[in-house]
Structure 1
Amino acid sequence: MKALKSILLGFTLLVVGTVANAATNPAVALTKNDVLNIYVNAVVHGKIDGLENILAKDVKYTMLRGDKEFNLNKKQLLESLKASENVDQNCTYTTSIMDESNNKMVVKLIMRYEGYIRTNLVTIALNHDDFQITKIRAES
């Protein structure tokens, strides 16, 4: 009888530990390319699903307009992109990897509109256990 109780107690602890571990660890972590695709979909196609999760808490967004430089924090950047939610940009775009390592990737996103070009340099880095955007530099 004692052996049966010990076996049941051990099994219960194993199940509880497994369930608790599954609840705290996400099933699938995003790759650098997943993060890039979510960002491109937000900026180019107005699809902002998942955007908040891929931006680091201290993301730095810098926009150059002529000689002036504007800086946005995460909240301001999200507000700006939410304002153009579901608006598909009338542009063609390309992405190219400028630099890549296991923990970081810098990507150039070029959006070509009629009459001008907008370029974003996007830095995606390992932030704790997840890849997130840590820096964006926009030029037009």
Structure 2
Amino acid sequence: MKTFKLENEPKIKSGFKTPDDYFDTFSTKVLEQVDKKEVKVIALNRRKKVISIVAAAVILIGLMIPIVNNYNSKSKELDAETLETYLSYQSNLNQYDLIKELDNTDIQKLGKNVALEDETIEDILSSNPNIENLISE
């Protein structure tokens, strides 16, 4: 193999040339162009504060939704099943205690809901051997 020496080989000239005094005036030209364009600076720490406040608000609202639904869904009135279950497990509760707690409006509501015909009442009284007990109550 033949030895290669850079000094002896013909050199290829580059197609690029810099103008005279280019590097002397380069810094002043760049500074003039930078001064012409003003860039709006946005502080990153402000954006981070806003994003963190928004994220905290979203998390707080997300945690409050089940609590608000729980308070709004509770009705103050008892449903029939709950009341019936409660009364069935109370052994010391009798019919006189229930009657004592009824108001006139409750009695009127009970009267409207009961729709018994005379024939139904007669059938019940005739089939029941304890007629005297039913009449006394």
Q: How high is the TM-score relative to the length of structure 2?
A: 0.28
- Which one scores higher on RCO, CA 8 angstroms, separation ≥ 6? 1
Say which structure is richer in helix.
2
TM-score between the two structures when normalised by the length of structure 1: 0.28
Q: Which of structures 1 and 2 has the bigger CA Rg?
A: 2
Write 1 or 2 for the structure with the bigger share of strand: 1
